[in-house]
Amino acid sequence: MTRVSKLRVGMIGYSFMGAAHSQAWRTVGHFFDIPVAVELAVLCGREEAALTRAATRMGWADTSADWRAVVGREDVDIIDICTPNSSHAEISIAALEAGKHVLCEKPLATTLVQAEAMADAASAARRQGTRSMVGFNYRRVPAIALLCKIIGEGRLGRLRHVRAVYLQDWASDPEVPLSWRMEASQAGSGALGDLGSHLIDLVAYLTGSRLQSVSASTSTFITQRRVAGSDALGDVTVDDAAVFLGHLSDGVTATFETSRVALGRKNSLRLEINGSLASAAFDLERLNELQLYEGNGSQERGFTTILVTEPDHPYLSAWWPPGHGLGYEHTFTHQAYEFLSAIVQERDPEPSFADGRYVQDALDAVARSAESSAGWVDLPAELIAARSEVS
């Protein structure tokens, strides 16, 4: 176990994800027993005035407009990447080569080539004791972590079906201006990568199975949007929605659906897993609850609602008395706790960059299936076999 007494964080990016990560770094040591202090050393961004305001508001000691300078600082131990997807690879690889631990927001990259390079860099850095993790924060919802435990204990029996749906509606209005999330050069894909990456990761996490093949369709309903700050129109070069079928290893069948134009759905991530003995269901909009049906032959028994707030449920012993629910922001605190614990204990955190590379391969297969109308597209066999590998 490492003997360091302090881990100093340099965070690149300060918008929505930056605020969530900042909250996590500030609070993790107040609620979880970690043997190191966390210092919010430096916040990095491009716009000086906005950066200074963000650093003051979120508790960062210093600011920088140059991410390379942050990576090179001797008083930074962890690089936390909250930038648009297109910059993940360059920053991550540079940070790992500089001996910095790296937490990178999902999806890992915009292309499979980038993801492969990042996984290779993480593997090389690991041999020098440098850790890396992808920020799939929904693994840290207590109800989802409890569901993973229930499945691991065999209570659902042999898994048969998985349904994974992630719907939002923020892009439904044609007047929403063009942003980096709508440009393939910066985002890689639309709802597919933004939301579908979470689903692909969660299904692998919960079932222990990976996608073997996919058959997909994507749609872009609003093909042009106003460029922010002008009357000019720009092309939307990513999908608004994606649906795909998947064959998982171990014989599990899965369906996936994502959309950013599903009116009325603000942040609705829903999962249902059916096994030979029981079924379970989860909805992020009711994130303190887990639905469980355990078949016993009775025609009068339905799903039971488990209120996931007990101290013996995952992460809950650090928080409030039973019945006092947690929120979205707590998932990032749990993520920070897991990452810091792995660094201190000198073990590999999950999900690893290798796991992120698998997700990127699945996204690539979905995109190829949708673009070519090729029907079923297979994922590389070595990625399926390596589902327990870490970067």
Domain identity same for 286 and 341 = yes
Asked if residue 25 belongs to a domain, the reply is yes
CATH number, domain of 12, equals: 3.40.50.720
Whether 297 is in a domain gets the answer yes
371 shares a domain with 283: yes
Instruction: Note whether residue 390 is domain-resident.
Output: no
**Looking at the domain assignment, is residue 161 inside a domain?**
yes
Residues 149 and 231 in one domain: yes
Residues 93 and 170 in one domain: no
Our count of domains for the chain comes to 2
Residue 299: inside a domain: yes
Q: What is the model's pLDDT at position 116?
A: 98
Query: Which residue segment(s) compose the domain that 210 sits in?
Result: 139-385
Domain boundary (106, 138, 170) is at 138
Q: 144 and 111, same structural domain? A: no
Enter the pTM of the model: 0.95
- Confidence (pLDDT) at 8: 98
Two tokens at 174?
Answer: 């044609």
SS3 for the chain is: CCCCCEEEEEEECCCHHHHHHHHHHHHHHHHCCCCCEEEEEEEECCCHHHHHHHHHHHCCCEEECCHHHHHHCCCCCEEEECCCHHHHHHHHHHHHHCCCEEEEECCCCCCHHHHHHHHHHHHHHHCCCCCEEEECHHHHCHHHHHHHHHHHCCCCCCEEEEEEEEECCCCCCCCCCECHHHCHHHHCCCHHHHHHHHHHHHHHHHHCCCEEEEEEEEECCCCEEEECCCCCEEECCCCCEEEEEEEEHHHCEEEEEEECCCCCCCCEEEEEEEECCEEEEEEHHHCCEEEEEECCCCCCCCCEEEECCCCCCCCHHHCCCCCCCCCHHHHHHHHHHHHHHHHHHCCCCCCCHHHHHHHHHHHHHHHHHHHHCCCCEECCHHHHHCCCCCC
- Helix pair angle (328-345, 16-31), 10° resolution: 60
How many beta carbons lie within 10 A of that of residue 179, not counting itself?
16
pLDDT given at position 375:
84
- 263 with 150, same domain: the answer is yes
Contact by Cβ (8 Å): 239, 181 = no
Close Cβ partners of 154 (under 8 Å, ≥ 6 residues apart) = none
Q: What is the pLDDT of residue 391?
A: 37
Same domain membership, residue 181 and residue 299: yes
Distances in Å between the Cα of 39 and the Cα atoms of 17, 34, 42, 75, 266 are 18, 13, 9, 10, 34
- The one-digit pLDDT tens for each residue of the chain (391 residues) are 657 899 999 999 999 999 999 999 999 999 999 999 999 999 999 999 999 999 999 999 999 999 999 999 999 999 999 999 999 999 999 999 999 999 999 999 999 999 999 999 999 999 999 999 999 999 999 999 999 999 999 999 999 999 999 999 999 999 999 999 999 999 999 999 999 999 999 999 999 999 999 999 999 999 999 998 888 999 999 999 999 999 999 999 999 999 999 999 999 999 999 999 999 999 999 999 999 999 776 566 789 999 999 999 999 999 999 999 999 999 999 999 999 999 999 999 999 999 999 999 999 999 999 998 778 999 998 777 765 443 3
My answer on whether 253 and 358 are in the same domain is yes
Could you tell me if 96 and 235 lie in one domain?
Answer: no
State which of 138, 158, 179 marks the end of a domain.
138
Q: Are residues 108 and 165 in the same domain?
A: no
Of 88, 116, 138, which closes a domain? 138
> How large is the C-alpha radius of gyration of the chain?
21
In a domain, 119, yes or no: yes
CATH code, domain carrying 253: 3.30.360.10
Q: Is residue 158 part of a domain?
A: yes
**Of 19, 28, 66, which Cα lies nearest the Cα of 46?**
66
Are 214 and 123 within one domain? Answer: no
Residue 293 within any structural domain of the chain: yes
Q: Are both 146 and 291 inside the same structural domain?
A: yes
